[in-house]
Each structure stands twice: as structure tokens, then as C-alpha cells.
Amino acid sequence: MIKQQLIISLFIYCIVFGCTSPKKSTVDNTHPQNLPNIVYILADDLGYGDLGCYGQEKIETPNIDLLAKNGMLFRNHYAGSSVCAPSRSTFLTGLHTGNTAIRGNKPTKKFTEGQVPLPQESITIAELLKEKGYITGAFGKWGLGYPGSEGDPNNQGFDEFYGYNCQKEAHRYYPKHLWHNDKKVFLEGNDFNNKVTYSGDLIHQKALEFIDNHKSAPFFLYYPNLVPHAELLLPEGDLLQKYRAKFGNEEAFINNKKGADYGSDKFNIARYASQPEPKATYAAMISLLDQQVGEVIAKLEEHDLLEHTIVIFTSDNGPHTEGGAAPDFFNSNGGLRGVKRDLYEGGIKVPMIVRWDGVVPKASVSDHVSAFWDMMPTFSEIADLNFNHQIDGISIVPTLKGEKQSNHQHLYWEFHEKGGRQAIRQGHWKLVKLKAFSATDSVIELYNLDTDPYERNNLSEEYPAKVNELLLIMSDAHSPSTLFPKFDQHI
């Protein structure tokens, strides 16, 4: 009820005062109904250096590279967190992890499948776009509320959802079922012994069908693809054969935990199966993701929608090390320090490419510092929607158009695992706090990203005044949380 009242109030506000964007030219390239379609493709655990256009040399990504040639490549874009659920929460709510409701990966105790729900009173970009007249769809991994909860995608602004509600279930690419809205869809042949129906194929087809079904109306397509999250697995085919030939014989990944492998008597869906060719499989999975991105673009071209659509491709956090993944072999973090679960650059800096024909200059590159929570104000400006609630994001539409851009005073992250971690970026300064839950053992590190982008030289002892300044800003950036209260006692 609270959420409905908030959305109704926002909608009435727009009607009374006019939903005029500060820049009318944001809709120069218009949809037939004056609203451009929005496609947001979110890879899962894809590193900053995993794409050809970001320097990858071992994995081929021609379609995503072409996306960059036809749009803008961002070199300083940051995920909302270094793990799945909180990163997605920041994207949907426009709030960083010091303010957004979901700040960690936390299972629900009320349901055997799913995570703690995004609260009803949270306002998501999907809800705002839906009120503006958009058809909204999410296809892939959700992780923000168990089926039927207040955090269910259908209760957070999405007209259609197809995929995995639960992150734990998404550890397997051959599950027994997926969800289509509130209905379980059982996958024929999948019984945790036999692998018949690959979930990624079904989810991808549903995403393409969404474009087919709504080509005449403005739509918001949120496509949180599972690749290349572990387990490392995809169907046999040309992609695997190509990378087998390229990498030759390789050391297998053997998971000795009970229930990890298909056919085990104590099969555990949360584990990762053993993998005989982890490098070839990882590379093939990213090439599969690349093919799927190409097919989304082809589908938009088929319906003559590219000139009416903004397409954004990014990843939810840095590269992972699970299931046999080898980020060092692929230089998946682009040489940056850290991986998934770190708040160093390698854990949170991610690729982002934006294509918007007629608006975004082709083959352009931006060094603007941006983050996931910038997407809500960006999409709101694109859709010519004003709103009056407090968020942490800043629209990047000026950057997309080559105009003067407002900058963040700082970016903030908090991470609720590994003893608690925090990070803040202010200009070229980056402060990282480790063991943050400890009043006596916490570790402070300070880096100058202009001169030390790989975070090798800790300057905390040389600049104590800057450390104290950033610690005060860090404290102010955190708001109390009943769902994730650990930092409340240590800030």
C-alpha cells in the first residue's frame, strides 16, 4: 500500500507539474509514441577485461565489440556491489549500498527458494517506467525476493518475468524448473542426472519474444543474463570445439564437495559441478553471451527499432574464481587488483557500452566516473519522467550526448561478507576499509587512482588528513538497515 501511494503521488506530481526533462533534446530520436525503448543487458561475473574491446586477447566477442564501435565505451563505470543481489538492487533503486534495501546476498527463511525481498516501499525504475506507459520485462536471474513476496519481480514493476527467481538455483544451467511470472515451468529431461534443457537458451528466446510481442509499444527490457557465472557449463557445439582446439589439454576442475556433480545421491544445487575443461568452457560461455547480444541487436534491426532504442551492456561485478574459472589466465580483471567480493577496482569496475543511434557518437569513449545507481535518473531523463524522491544517482545523458556532465562528489560501497568491507572514491582518491566489523582490527588503505590505477601503493600514512576526510564521508554515506544491520554498530 505504501509503495502504491508513493507511485500514485509521483504520477500525479508529473501530471500537475509536467514531466518535462531538463533537456528536451533527450528524445530527439523518438519512438512512435515519443518514448525510446530501453534495453539493459546485465552479464553475471563478467570482468572488466573479458571483452575484446576492453583488451581481451583469448576470447572472441565480435558482437559486443561491434556494439562499442556503434556506441560509447565507458572506462570508469562501477557496479553497485561486488556480488549479485546488492548490485542489482542499486541498479533498480538508484541508491548505493549504503542506502538501498538489499545490501548483500541473503537467503530467505520463509521459502526454500529465493532471497530476502526488496521491500514493498522501494521504488524501482521498472515501476516508474511502467507508470509512464512502458511495457516492462525481466529475463534471467532475479535474486531480490522469493516467489510471491513483495520483492517478486511482478511486484516490483515488471509485467513479465522469466528465469531464475533464486540465485542459488541459478548455480545450475540445467535446473528442474524456471519461473514464468508466478508459474513454475518444469524443464523436460532435467533431473540432476540428465542434462537436456539448457536454461540459457530458453531465457534468451523469451527475451527475443518480448521484443517481438511489444515492438509497437515502448518497452523496457531488463536482461540479467547468467553468463559467465559458475557453474561453467554450456551445451556441446562449435564454441566449445573452437576453444578446445585453441587451449589444448587442460587441467580439470574437480569439486570434491558432496553433491557437487550431476548424478550424485546428495545432489546440492548450490554447488558447482566438476569441469574437465574450465578454460575452454569459460571462453565458450562468453562467446555464447556475445552471440546472444548480437541476436538482440538483430531482433531490434528486424523490427526497425534500433533508431528508437537505447541499448546498454554491462556486468554486475568483477570476475569470479568459482567452478574452475581462471581470471588470471584470461586477465579477466584487465590487470586491476581484485576479483568478485573485493572492493578493489577489479571487484567493482565493470565494462559498460551504450548504443543509442542518432544520439550517442559512434566509436566514442568516456572516462566519466559513473555507477549502477546512475541508471534510474538516466532512464528517467530518457523517458522524460521527473520524480521527486531522493536517490544517489546522477543522469549520464549529458555524457551520452557529448554535453557538460555533472559529477559525483563521491561513490560509496559497503560489503557485508569477509568481515565487512567499505570503499569510497572521491575524484582520484580511493579509500578501502577492510575488517570493517572490527573496532580494533580494521585496516585502512588509500590509493591515488590517477598515478596508481592498480592500487599497489597504500598512501594512508602519507595523507592522514585525506584518510580522516574520507572516513567521515564514508560514515555519512551509510544509513541504518534492519535487514543488514552489521555496519550500524561499527560506523
User: How big is the chain, counted in residues?
Assistant: 491
pLDDT at 439: 85
Verify that 404 and 426 share a domain, yes or no. no
CB 383 within 8 A of CB 133: no
Q: Tell me, what CATH number does 331's domain have?
A: 3.40.720.10
- Terminal Cα-to-Cα distance of the chain (whole angstroms): 33
Q: Which of 408, 424, 442 is the last residue of a domain?
A: 408
**What sign results for the dihedral spanned by CA atoms 210, 374, 333, 257?**
negative
Q: Position of cell 553475471?
A: 44
Q: Which of 350, 378, 408 is the last residue of a domain?
A: 408
Verify that 26 and 137 share a domain, yes or no. yes
Query: Consecutive 10-residue runs of the chain (491 residues): their mean pLDDT?
Result: 43 34 32 80 98 98 98 98 98 98 94 94 97 97 97 98 98 98 96 96 98 97 98 97 97 96 94 97 98 98 97 98 97 98 98 98 98 97 88 98 97 97 98 95 97 98 98 97 88 61
Q: Tell me, what CATH number does 448's domain have?
A: 3.30.1120.10
Verify that 378 and 478 share a domain, yes or no. no
| Residues sharing a CB contact under 8 Å with residue 184, sequence separation 6 or more, in sequence order | 177, 178
Tally of CA atoms within 13 A in the half-sphere of 474 that contains its CB: 24
Tell me the whole-structure pTM to 2 decimals.
0.93
| Residues sharing a CB contact under 8 Å with residue 227, sequence separation 6 or more, in sequence order | 43, 44, 46, 200, 285, 286, 288, 289, 292
Q: How many domains does the chain have?
A: 2
Verify that 423 and 317 share a domain, yes or no. no
Start-end of H helices in 312-409 = 327-330, 345-348, 375-382, 397-400
Verify that 453 and 352 share a domain, yes or no. no
Q: Give the relative orientation of helices 84-93 and 125-132 as an angle to the nearest 10 degrees.
A: 40
Verify that 89 and 158 share a domain, yes or no. yes
One-letter amino acid identity for 64? I
* CA distance linking residue 246 with residue 427, whole number of Å: 42
Verify that 403 and 447 share a domain, yes or no. no
DSSP letter, residue 396? -
**What sign results for the dihedral spanned by CA atoms 172, 173, 177, 178?**
positive
Verify that 416 and 394 share a domain, yes or no. no
CA distances from 270 to 45, 84, 199, 458 (A): 16, 15, 16, 37
pLDDT at 23: 28
**What sign results for the dihedral spanned by CA atoms 471, 469, 80, 291?**
negative
Verify that 103 and 183 share a domain, yes or no. yes
How many Å separate Cα 75 from the centre of its chain? 16
* CA distance linking residue 293 with residue 318, whole number of Å: 19
Range of the domain at 33: 2-408
- Pair type for strands 309-315 and 160-164: unpaired
Q: Position of cell 543481489?
A: 85
pLDDT at 15: 33
DSSP letter, residue 94? S
Verify that 255 and 117 share a domain, yes or no. yes
Verify that 121 and 195 share a domain, yes or no. yes
pLDDT at 32: 40
- Pair type for strands 443-448 and 160-164: unpaired
| Residues sharing a CB contact under 8 Å with residue 18, sequence separation 6 or more, in sequence order | 386
pLDDT at 491: 61
Task: List the beta bridge partners of residue 197.
Answer: none
Task: List the beta bridge partners of residue 349.
Answer: 78
CB 162 within 8 A of CB 178: yes
Verify that 323 and 417 share a domain, yes or no. no
Cis peptide, bond prior to residue 175, ω within 30 of zero:
no
**Secondary element (H or E) of residue 204:** helix 199-213
Q: Which of 366, 381, 408 is the last residue of a domain?
A: 408
pLDDT at 458: 98
pLDDT at 388: 79
Task: List the beta bridge partners of residue 224.
Answer: 42
Q: Give the 3-state secondary structure of residue 378.
A: helix
CB 187 within 8 A of CB 136: no
